[in-house]
Amino acid sequence: MTNNNGWTQKSDKGILIVLSGPSGVGKGTVCSALRQCTSDLVYSVSATTRSPRAGEQEGVNYFFKSKEQFLSMIERDELLEWAEYVGNYYGTPREFVRSTLDAGKDIILEIEVQGALKVKQKFPEGVFIFLLPPSLDELEQRIVTRGTDSMDAIRSRMNAAREEIALLEHYDYAIVNDRVELACQRIQAILEAEHCKKERYLPVLQKWLEEVH
């Protein structure tokens, strides 16, 4: 469970966490598990032109948009970042991220690498986590088992996966999703550590430093 490092005075801004990783690695599964055990983490819901999969809900999994609607969101500068991925557009609504961070709450963005790099330019203080599969064979197996993609789409996603993993160096942390609960625990451990960074408590720590000098 994330905490506030035992201080009563909370750092003003929430932490922005970006979780990326190849299609099928288990980002969605790990995020759902995190949702259940980390109540104080807010999830950014993206806009996409991709069609809904069975069971996906508007406003919960994505805001499903036509290409025209998506392009006008770009034009109105409503997206913090956006990217084209395997033939569809995906983007992060900007206002929700801003208001969540301003309210002092942590927010997690589950987005692909190109978008993550754009976010890093705007929020270098964000925490960038890359989720890896135990192996590429296991990754392909997971996409096949999920049963949502055609053979062509699986090939495209595996090609995209290789390109994405090549950009791992831009991330702060690499986590292997061998078992969902372990991957979850690792992300929680990262959040705990980030909450203890001294930079987040400078006004409080300043008083301590004045007392000890």
Give least dist CB 188 to ligand ADP, A.
16
Does 85 interact with ligand GDP (rule: CB under 6 A)? yes
Interface residues for ligand GDP in 89-128 (CB under 6 A)?
90-92, 110-112, 114-115
Specify the residue, 91 or 133, whose C-beta has the smaller distance to ligand GDP.
91
192: left (phi over 0), alpha (psi -120 to 50) or beta: alpha
Cα 95 from Cα 92, distance rounded (Å): 9
Cα 34 from Cα 47, distance rounded (Å): 21
Cα 33 from Cα 110, distance rounded (Å): 14
* Sign, CA torsion 190/196/202/203: positive
Applying CB under 6 A, the site for ligand GDP has a residue count of 17
Element holding 138 (H helix, E strand): helix 136-146
Report the residue from 2, 11, 20, 27 that binds ligand ADP according to the rule CB under 6 A.
Answer: 27
Q: Binds 25, which of ligand GDP, ligand ADP, none (CB < 5 to 8 A, cut-off by type)?
A: ligand ADP
Q: Which residue is nearest to ligand ADP (CB)?
A: 26
Does 142 interact with ligand ADP (rule: CB under 6 A)? yes
Is 10 labelled a binding residue? no
Report the residue from 83, 108, 131, 184 that binds ligand GDP according to the rule CB under 6 A.
Answer: 83
Specify the residue, 119 or 184, whose C-beta has the smaller distance to ligand GDP.
119
Q: Write phi, then psi, for 194 (nearest 5 degrees).
A: -65, -35
